[in-house]
Amino acid sequence: MENKIKELRTKQNITQEELARLSKVRRETIVFLEQGKYNPSLKLAHDVAKVLKTTIDKLFIFGD
């Protein structure tokens, strides 16, 4: 599943380490999320969206 995590993170000058800390996950998980190699749970998607000051449907690109 594609997403805009890296785009929004870099726009807000947040490092992967910081995003991981604020989302209460490991940095490796943020790396996997940005690469689209891991589909987060609803809670994690919400937490990441909240840190990046956006919503889930704007952050993640759901294919039809």
Partner 1 sequence: MLNKSNTKNLTAKQYRTITAFVAAIIGFSVSLANLTGIYISMLVITIGMAVLLYAKSRVKDVLEDERDKTVGGEAARLAIGAYSTISIVVMFVLYPFRLQNPFFETIVLTLSFSACALMGIYSLAFYLRNKGVKPKTFFWALIAVSLIVFLTGVRLLSGEDSWICKDGEWTEHGKPSSPKPVIKCTNGK
- Phi-psi label, residue 24: left if phi above 0, alpha if psi -120 to 50, beta otherwise: left
DSSP state of 55: -
Q: Which residue has the tokens 């995590």?
A: 5
Give the whole-angstrom CA distance, residue 28 versus residue 53.
Answer: 21
Our CB check for partner 1 shows the closer of 16 and 29 to be: 29
Please, what is the minimum distance in Å from the beta carbon of residue 23 to partner 1? 9
Q: Which of residues 3-62 bind partner 1 (CB under 8 A)?
A: 20-21, 24-26, 28-29, 32, 38, 40-41, 43-44
- Per CB under 8 A, residues contacting partner 1 are 20-21, 24-26, 28-29, 32, 38, 40-41, 43-44
